[in-house]
Copies of this chain bind each other. A is one copy, B any other.
Amino acid sequence: MDAKGISRAVISRLPRYYRYLGELMEDGVERISSNELSEKMRVTASQIRQDLNNFGGFGQQGYGYNVQYLYTEIGKILGLDHVHHMIILGAGNLGQALANYVQFEKRGFKVVGLFDVNPVLAGVSVRGIEIKMISDLEEFLKNNSVQIAALTLPKNKAAEMADLLVANNIKAIWNFAHLDLTLPENVIVENVHLSESLMRLSYNLNRYVNEHQQ
Contacts and interface: CB of A to CB of B under 8 A. Distances in A.
A167 interface: no
Contacts of A79: 199, 202-203, 205-207
Chain A interface category by residue count: 35 or more
Contacts of A136: none
Copies in the complex: 2
A3 B205 contact: no
Contacts of A11: 200, 203-204
Nearest to A193: B15
25 contacts: A3-B207, A3-B211, A15-B200, A16-B196, A78-B203, A78-B206, A79-B202, A92-B97, A92-B100, A93-B93, A94-B94, A94-B97, A97-B97, A98-B194, A101-B194, A107-B195, A107-B199, A171-B208, A171-B209, A172-B204, A172-B205, A186-B208, A188-B205, A190-B197, A192-B197
A188 B174 contact: no
A201 B178 contact: no
A14 B203 CA distance: 10
Interface in A149-175: 171-172, 174
A93 B84 contact: no
Contact of A200 (B12, B84, B101, B201): B12
